[in-house]
Amino acid sequence: MASFTSTLLFLATVLVGITPAVSQPDDPSGLTCNDWGESIEGSVSIVEGELGWLSCPLFSHPSVYNYTSTQSSGQNLFWYRVPEGQDLEQPIASSSRLARDRERLWLLPAAANDTGQYICMLRNRSSCTKIAMRLKVLRPDEVVRGNDCEPPVTVAASPVIIPLQGGKLVDCPDLQDAAAVGLLKSRATVTWMHIIPNSSIYHIMSQPRCRPPESWTNDREVKGVRLQVHVMMVTYQGLYICTVRYQRGGTMLSYSRSINVTAVNPPSMHKEPTILVPTREKVFTVKQDTEVQLLCKALFPYLDSSQWAMWWMVDGKTLDKVHDHHRFSKTTRKVKDDFGDRTEESVLVIQDFQAEDLKREFNCSVKNERGFETRRVQLVEEVSLPSVELGCGLGVTLVLMLLLFVVYHVFWLELLLLYRSWFGTDERHTDDKEYDVYISYARNSEEEQFVLSTLRSVLENELGYSVCIFDRDSLPGGTITDETLSFVARSRRLLVVVSPGYASHGSQALLELKAGIDGMALGGHLRVILIQYKPVRRQGWVRELRRARVALALVRWQGDKSKELTSRFWKRLRVELPVRRVSGGEEGGKDVALMRLHSQNSTNSQTGLISDTVKHPHKVFNSAG
């Protein structure tokens, strides 16, 4: 029972497409037959008109079913066929064309209508087993061939390896089976043909790819039915097709098989495996917290056994034995095959490389039948590249330049004022002028209030300038023209408060403006500064003003924004006015102190300022004097 179970299991692994056992109602004994379904391995293709055979797949593993021993246990082999397109099993009647010999069914030769399913059944009175296989009879033109000169072959090429410079005797496949059959009474004759692969560099396009033995040199020959290679050459590689022929009755029976001959390096060569990469000197640079890939490349020379191994060790342990093995993985691939000498590459991938990994020993090891080699991978931590530092330096410089640029553009007024406060010269020491500022404005206008209440008061009280306002400072009784000219001449700056009606024909303001522009033109240490209280259309200006505008600084009052002493208006103005160091060097402090000019400085504060001036008129004269 146990052996039967093992038989079952064994066949289950061997056969594909197993179907459940079915009973054989036709069987007179009512015996149930074990049906192993259809064997894929047992399926056969034969060229129409050629000799062929079917082997019962039950006997393909003699340890399970041995033909000799089944005969002795009284079991008989029966053949059935299910022709293509039918589903009825028909017993095969032995004929001169279809003959049985031991476990084989011979087709002498195969006909196109032989295609179909074949069943072999092994049976005695108490047991029955059957298995099916498929036969396909192909027309010669249905067989895929590389070349017209090649005979059609339906069986895959058998590989044969011959060492270069070595020799070998090569048999035509299946010849022994055919020769053992009593049915084929005559002796077989075998013809050979060498087919040069068209990928080969030795294939010359103009020459035929099929080379019969007549064209061969002395290094190989056909000896009886076999192929004898005396001295193997690279050019002898390729397919060899052998065609076996038998004379039977009046007909010639034949079949063809192919052999794939490849050359390998001779056994006399060095056979120990060698590690090509890393070399003893090679040092890998690694970077912490990154994925590190270590490459190992080795050469395994050709050996018959073709057993080789390549593996990684970490601190003398294989990868699966390392405690943090999840961080390691490896991939191995063949990169080259040179006459059987294979070059293999193995990459060890280390996730998240750590500082302590630097101290670990990573060894790549290789082994085959003849030898063993191991090599440690030298690791060194990557030093930051100078180019990175260079880049950083450049970046910092650029950022600094940008910062300076921004600082200059935003704070240029402040910087200018600071510079002046340090290096500017006080004009009072170089000229003999009485006033710092002469204010010229249109009388009876909106600007008048601004001049009297804001401009004058800040310039005098906060910034410490001496201010001259004609209406206030002129003495009654003098000639207006002379006095105006003399006042303007005695001032360092002429502040012109531009307004729509400014310097209308024949006005006091026009006189002041002319005096100022003349004084400036004559180099009388006088400068004219324009102040715009409210936006004015340029066309409304008098001709003198329009001409002069190009050369003059214009400071704009920007409403509430300009009320603080730290605003742009006052800074701009101060830049234009003479350098004045406020006593105690507290210039900066004064700037920072916010001077709020109340927005309601309408009548109340205005009258306050004016009344203040009225109360102490001498104050102005004293300071001016």
Residue 316 interacting with ligand NAG (CB under 6 A): yes
Residue 29 interacting with ligand NAG (CB under 6 A): no
Measured CA to CA in angstroms, residue 134 lies from 42, 115, 116, 306 at distances of 7, 8, 6, 35
Residue 262 interacting with ligand NAG (CB under 6 A): yes
Q: 189-195 and 158-163: which strand pairing? A: unpaired
- Other Cβ atoms less than 10 A from the Cβ of 71: the count is 12
CB of 174 to ligand NAG, least distance (A): 17
- Other Cβ atoms less than 10 A from the Cβ of 538: the count is 9
Residue-by-residue DSSP string for 254-265: EEEEEEEEEEE-
Segment near ligand NAG (CB under 6 A), from 70-78, 215-223, 295-303, 510-518? Answer: 70-78
Q: For residues 8 and 58, give the distance between their C-alpha atoms in angstroms, rounded to a whole number.
A: 12
Q: Is the peptide bond before 278 cis (omega within 30 degrees of 0)?
A: yes
512 is a catalytic site residue: yes
Kindly give the residue spans of alpha helices, DSSP state H, lying in 287-365. Answer: none
Of these, 189, 191, 343, 363, which contacts ligand NAG (CB under 6 A)? 363
C-beta of 153 vs 468, nearer to ligand NAG: 153
Of these, 19, 23, 32, 69, which contacts ligand NAG (CB under 6 A)? 69
Number of residues counted as binding ligand NAG (CB under 6 A): 29
Exposure string over 92-120, b if 16+ CB within 10 A, otherwise e: beeeeebbbeebbbbbbbbeeebbbbbbb
Q: For residues 130 and 51, give the distance between their C-alpha atoms in angstroms, rounded to a whole number.
A: 25
CB of 168 to ligand NAG, least distance (A): 15
Check: CB of residue 170 under 8 Å from CB of residue 260.
no
By rule CB under 6 A, what string of x and - marks binding of each residue 113-142 to ligand NAG? x----------xxxx---------------
By rule CB under 6 A, what string of x and - marks binding of each residue 146-175 to ligand NAG? xx---------x-x----------------
Residue 623 interacting with ligand NAG (CB under 6 A): no
Residue 66 interacting with ligand NAG (CB under 6 A): yes
CB of 165 to ligand NAG, least distance (A): 19
Q: Which of 153, 197, 200 is nearest to 172 (CA)?
A: 153
Considering 344, 512, 576, 587, which one is annotated as catalytic?
512
Axis-axis angle for helices 386-423, 568-576 (nearest 10): 60
Residue 604 interacting with ligand NAG (CB under 6 A): no
Of these, 187, 325, 376, 616, which contacts ligand NAG (CB under 6 A)? 376
Of these, 199, 430, 479, 600, which contacts ligand NAG (CB under 6 A)? 199
C-beta of 365 vs 466, nearer to ligand NAG: 365
CA of residue 386 relative to chain centroid, distance: 25
Q: For residues 534 and 451, give the distance between their C-alpha atoms in angstroms, rounded to a whole number.
A: 13
Please list every residue from 222 through 241 that binds ligand NAG, using CB under 6 A.
239
Segment near ligand NAG (CB under 6 A), from 182-190, 374-382, 402-410, 539-547? Answer: 374-382
Query: 53 by DSSP, 3-state: which?
Result: strand
Catalytic residues: 512
Q: Which residues bind ligand NAG (CB under 6 A)?
A: 62, 66, 68-69, 73-75, 111, 113, 124-127, 146-147, 157, 159, 198-199, 239, 260, 262, 313, 316, 361, 363, 374-376
